Amino acid sequence: MNKPIGVGVVGCGYWGPNLIRNFRTLPDCQLRVMCDVNEERLAHLKKLYPEVEAETQFERMLARPDLDAVAIATSVRLHYPMARASLLAGKHTFIEKPMATSVAECTELIELARKNGLILMVGHTFLYSPAVRRIKEIVDSGDLGEIRYISARRLNLGLFQKDINVAWDLAPHDISIIQYIIGQQPTAVNCRGMSHVTPGIEDVTTMCLTFPKQQTAIIQSSWLDPRKVREMTIVGSRRMIVYDDVAPLEKIRIFDARVERPPHYDTFGEFHYAYHYGDVYIPYLKQEEPLKVECQHFLDCIRTGAKPLSDGEQGRQLVEILEASSESLRRGGSPVELPFRVNGQPAANGRIAVRLVVKNGSARNGRAKARGRARRAIKPSVRPRARVTP
């Protein structure tokens, strides 16, 4: 029998507890520590999982020899400094999406993991969902024909973030699904958006990705909608799929619908488009929690040394799109070509970063400032009064 993999989770806010719940139930895993600077959150989780140690200091968690792997579910600005520290401490590292605040940070983490022979995985959760896996199978089988375009809508009320705009918060899910389906990086990114609530932080954005072969994807993200909408339409030349992730059971519908233009026509004469409306088919999907599959995949990769489906490179490509989207927003929605360069230099040099809000509420850009803040923030600003022990 295999020795269980020792795991620690840092960040016990909204999302971290879902990682904790899943790692705790996996058979080849021993969830040993949950870490957060917020003692109230820790106390709450300690009540739920009394057998797991609670820790307020990330550095102390990393120093534990019984941890093989660390999962990071803190805010985006902390992903890079925490993942770097975790990899330097020799731990396999899982980072929630988006991987970091710049391509430069992602590249450094990928290199660090490679040098130290460690698994680096990013939480692109939807790649582990039965619905998205099924869509990928259908697309790869050629059943839809040529993919023409994809449109995605991810809307709800909040949760407003203070250090990233809605594109960095919600669009990573759609971008990761689209990258998985299309299988390549876009050639250009346009993004328009508006800040209605917090000055300088867009709460509504529309991003357009242009791929080779005239394929496009449009992603609408919003924190300002009364309904929770998670919809994607994949339009092929022969068939179309509508994927509704909020639907409890029938998440995917395949429409045998298309429009055809007669191949030969006289420019002066009349021609008719041929509309085809056929059956609608609802495929059976396995009921599985994507996050559980994702956590198990991380453990499997640690055991076997296999490359994760959502590895550091996937995370880096996604952050490149987000960086380009921030630049396009700055340019009023003009297209930004990929690979993204600033004055001939890779954007990896960090001119473009997540927008940060300063105390007076205005926005500023700057990776240096982001990093400075992140380094300071990795240490709890208030020393914990007492360590929470089991």
Ligand X SMILES: NC(=O)c1ccc[n+]([C@@H]2O[C@H](COP(=O)([O-])OP(=O)(O)OC[C@H]3O[C@@H](n4cnc5c(N)ncnc54)[C@H](O)[C@@H]3O)[C@@H](O)[C@H]2O)c1
Binding ligand X (rule: CB under 6 A), the pick from 5, 6, 8, 16 is 16
CB of 142 to ligand X, least distance (A): 30
Tell me the C-alpha distance between 364 and 387, whole Å. 36
Query: Does residue 245 interact with ligand X by CB under 6 A?
Result: no
The candidate with the shortest Cα–Cα distance to 95, out of 78, 108, 107, is: 78
Q: Which amino acid is at 247?
A: A
Query: Does residue 380 interact with ligand X by CB under 6 A?
Result: yes
Query: Does residue 311 interact with ligand X by CB under 6 A?
Result: no
Q: Which is nearer to ligand X, 123 or 193 (CB)?
A: 123
Binding ligand X (rule: CB under 6 A), the pick from 9, 52, 53, 58 is 58
The interface region with ligand X, picked from 8-16, 189-197, 230-238, 254-262 by CB under 6 A, is 8-16
Binding ligand X (rule: CB under 6 A), the pick from 36, 39, 174, 245 is 36
Pick out residues in 172-201 that bind ligand X (CB under 6 A). none
* C-beta separation of 153 from 207 below 8 A: no
Query: Does residue 15 interact with ligand X by CB under 6 A?
Result: yes
Q: How many residues of this chain interact with ligand X, rule: CB under 6 A?
A: 25
* C-beta separation of 137 from 390 below 8 A: no
> What residue number has its CB nearest to ligand X?
13
Give the per-residue contact string, 324-363, with ligand X (x = CB under 6 A; - = no).
Answer: ----------------------------------------
* C-beta separation of 126 from 152 below 8 A: no
Query: Does residue 202 interact with ligand X by CB under 6 A?
Result: no
Binding ligand X (rule: CB under 6 A), the pick from 21, 77, 91, 97 is 97
Binding ligand X (rule: CB under 6 A), the pick from 75, 151, 187, 210 is 75
Q: Which is nearer to ligand X, 15 or 149 (CB)?
A: 15
Query: Does residue 171 interact with ligand X by CB under 6 A?
Result: no
Tell me the C-alpha distance between 313 and 179, whole Å. 12
Q: Which residues pair with 140 in a beta bridge?
A: none
Query: Does residue 11 interact with ligand X by CB under 6 A?
Result: yes
What is the DSSP track for 77-130? GGHHHHHHHHHHTT-EEEEESS--SSHHHHHHHHHHHHHHT--EEEE-GGGGSH
Q: Which amino acid is at 25?
A: T
Q: Which is nearer to ligand X, 215 or 220 (CB)?
A: 220
Tell me the C-alpha distance between 323 and 89, whole Å. 29
The conformational region for residue 98 under phi > 0 = left, psi -120 to 50 = alpha, else beta, is beta
Burial of 265 (0-12, 13-18, 19+ CB in 10 A): exposed
Q: Which is nearer to ligand X, 341 or 375 (CB)?
A: 375
Q: Which is nearer to ligand X, 6 or 16 (CB)?
A: 16
Q: Which residues of 104-115 are buried (b: 16+ CB within 10 A; e: fewer)?
A: bbbbbbbebbee
CB of 362 to ligand X, least distance (A): 22
Query: Does residue 38 interact with ligand X by CB under 6 A?
Result: yes
Query: Does residue 283 interact with ligand X by CB under 6 A?
Result: no
Angle at which helices 103-116 and 312-330 cross, to 10°: 170
Strand order in the sheet with 252-260: 274-281, 252-260, 240-244, 224-236, 147-157, 216-222, 204-210, 188-194, 336-337
Binding ligand X (rule: CB under 6 A), the pick from 22, 86, 101, 125 is 125
Cis before 263? omega within 30 = no
Query: Does residue 64 interact with ligand X by CB under 6 A?
Result: no
Tell me the C-alpha distance between 67 and 31, whole Å. 9
Query: Does residue 85 interact with ligand X by CB under 6 A?
Result: no
Query: Does residue 35 interact with ligand X by CB under 6 A?
Result: yes
Query: Does residue 12 interact with ligand X by CB under 6 A?
Result: yes
Q: Which is nearer to ligand X, 178 or 254 (CB)?
A: 178
The interface region with ligand X, picked from 70-78, 137-145, 223-231, 263-271 by CB under 6 A, is 70-78
Q: Which is nearer to ligand X, 97 or 371 (CB)?
A: 97
Footprint of ligand X (CB under 6 A): 10-16, 35-38, 41, 58, 73-76, 78, 96-97, 123, 125, 377-378, 380
